[in-house]
Amino acid sequence: MRGDYQTVRSYGESEYIIQKSRFLTYVKRTETEEEAIDFINEIKKIHHNATHNCSAYMIGAHDEIQKANDDGEPSGTAGVPMLEVLKKQNLKDTTVVVTRYFGGIKLGSGGLIRAYGRATSEGITATGVVERRLHDLMKIAIDYTWLGKVENEIRQSPYPLKEIVYAEDVEIYIHVPVSEVENFTNWVTEITNGQSKISSSGKEFLEFEI
């Protein structure tokens, strides 16, 4: 499983106007190339009468898939600067589509590069960026007599409480950063005087806004 990484929130959009041309930016988190292509085609269908629907995406833990499409703009003036913004911001699993409605004034190659870069940046800002941090989902099994103390200690700690399951014993599920599992285990063992069973129930990502 991959480690911590940055990506966009689920979906966002923005609008940027320069020299009477409208640049509509659509941003979406996409975890596969198929999702990215489907999203691009969806925007193209909505804006089938637009002058251009340019796109860029980066997919994979190590950015294994990187694609840019100028959709009829001069080569290298749209998709590539859009992709460069994704790279500069180190965003993974992200797809951006910039729809342009031509306003009658040509921008030139340099102007296009700046316009598509800015449209992409503004779209990402409007969407929001998060850091996905890998956590262990730790399970604490304790006798009911310990519930009050342990729950109180956890709620005052920095570890997010996911849920409490009332079974034969009480099962408390907590998200713990991977790097802190050992310290967490020692801490719980201490506050329960060793009267707890602590185990990992797998790994999950939690998202934190940047």
Per-residue pLDDT of the chain (210 residues; tens, 9 = 90+): 788 999 999 999 999 999 999 999 999 999 999 999 999 999 999 999 999 999 999 999 999 999 999 999 999 999 999 999 999 999 999 999 999 999 999 999 999 999 999 999 999 999 999 999 999 999 999 999 999 999 999 999 999 999 999 999 999 999 999 999 999 999 999 999 999 999 999 999 999 998
- For residues 12 and 82, membership in a common domain is answered with yes
- For residues 36 and 123, membership in a common domain is answered with yes
Query: pLDDT tens digits for 10-40?
Result: 999 999 999 999 999 999 999 999 999 999 9
Beta strands (DSSP E) in the chain are: 5-8, 11-18, 21-29, 52-59, 65-69, 94-101, 129-142, 161-166, 170-177, 196-209
- For residues 82 and 102, membership in a common domain is answered with yes
- For residues 122 and 139, membership in a common domain is answered with no
The CATH code of the domain that includes 162 is 3.30.70.240
- For residues 152 and 201, membership in a common domain is answered with yes
- For residues 73 and 142, membership in a common domain is answered with no
- For residues 101 and 202, membership in a common domain is answered with no
- For residues 102 and 41, membership in a common domain is answered with yes
Are 192 and 150 within 8 A, CB to CB?
yes
Parent domain of 110: 5-127
**Structure tokens belonging to residue 198:** 């602590």
The CATH code of the domain that includes 113 is 3.30.230.30
pLDDT at 153: 96
> What is the domain count for the chain?
2
pLDDT at 138: 98
Half-sphere exposure of residue 100: CA atoms within 13 angstroms, side-chain side: 29
- For residues 103 and 9, membership in a common domain is answered with yes
Is-above-0.95 flag for pTM? no
Residue that finishes a domain, picked among 127, 143, 172: 127
Residue that finishes a domain, picked among 127, 151, 171: 127
